[in-house]
Amino acid sequence: MIRYEYGGDEFVFVELAEEMSLEANFRGMAITRKLRERQLPGILDICPSNASYMIRVDPDQLHPDALIAELKNLEESVSLDDFEISARLVDVPVLFEDPWTHEALMRFRERHQDPNSTDLEYAARINGFKSKGELIEAITGFPYLVSMVGFVPGLPWCYQMVPREQQIEVPKYVRPRTFTPERAFGFGGAFAVIYPVQGAGGYQLFGIAAAPIYDREQRLPDFKDAITFPKQGDIFRYRGITMDEYESIRKQVEDGTFRYLTKEITFTPDEVTENPQRFSENVLGRLYE
């Protein structure tokens, strides 16, 4: 059941589902897109999330009760049957088991569920994989939907586009680390993330992204319109790379020539939910054609 809540005088929070699912995220996209198209006076900001969304409203122009009534009408009228999503397919190179995140995670073993193993070893074991290599193959074998962007600027929350029984899930650290390297690739719950900047963190660390997702100086071509790269609705393919390719990409980043490999695609939610395997094969084939 959908829950509508007030957030002080200026915010309305809508919870579409208690747990994340592709269907709930697609429905949130559809509702917030229709809301933007209506351009109601008094709406200051629309912030979609994994299975919810929040709206900032000027109560002098639009009373929150009137907004909630409008949102309930939208919920009844929006259908995913005729909803198309235009998205970027993005190749995201990741160096798994890199020395930098390995050093960081080993510094904080006393805060981990299993101090005697690495994060990859622990994640592989609790998800039923025979080896770290099998886990990495599962992570890189299917694309991810960027279901929301937030927590810190540019951090993408990425939900793998696979049936629920294939979802990889891991808990966060028992106590957070006080240090996480910039561009660290991690997993928490069912979400893959890249840390945009150095800082604290509690997700399991599996590797490091070769290219930035945050560029304050906007030096790189992919950041000419914004200091952050990910957008809600993007489809990321995390691709494992060697140290040689990692160093080559870092050189391109340093000299300002790096560009993400991207392709534009349009798809419907049914294409994902009805046959994730076929959808994955189609989009990855399109990305690397």
217-232 confidence digits (pLDDT tens)? 999 999 999 999 999 9
Q: What tokens were used for 219?
A: 């030096």
- Asked: is 3-79 a CATH 1.20.140.10 domain? The reply is no
Q: Where are the domains of the chain?
A: 3-79, 86-287
What is the pLDDT confidence band of residue 164, given thresholds at 50, 70 and 90? confident
What number is the average pLDDT over the span 189-198?
96
Those residues whose C-beta lies under 8 Å from the C-beta of residue 83, and which sit 6 or more positions away, are: 26, 29, 30, 268, 269
CA–CA distance, 98 with 15 (Å, rounded to integer) = 38
- pLDDT digits 0-9 by tens, 36-74: 999 999 999 999 999 999 999 999 999 999 999 999 999
CA–CA distance, 7 with 48 (Å, rounded to integer) = 15
CA–CA distance, 18 with 20 (Å, rounded to integer) = 7
Which region among 27-31, 96-100, 118-122, 256-260 has the lowest average model confidence (pLDDT)?
27-31
In this prediction, residue 277 carries a pLDDT of 87
Query: How many beta carbons lie within 10 A of that of residue 144, not counting itself?
Result: 22
Q: What tokens were used for 284?
A: 């990855």
What is the pLDDT confidence band of residue 1, given thresholds at 50, 70 and 90? confident
C-alpha to C-alpha distances, 164 to 9, 77, 87, 131, 219, nearest whole angstrom: 38, 27, 22, 21, 39
CATH superfamily placement of domain 86-287: Cyclophilin-like (2.40.100.10)
In this prediction, residue 160 carries a pLDDT of 95
CA–CA distance, 241 with 222 (Å, rounded to integer) = 21
Q: What value, to the nearest 5°, has the Cα angle with vertex 215 and ends 30 and 218?
A: 100
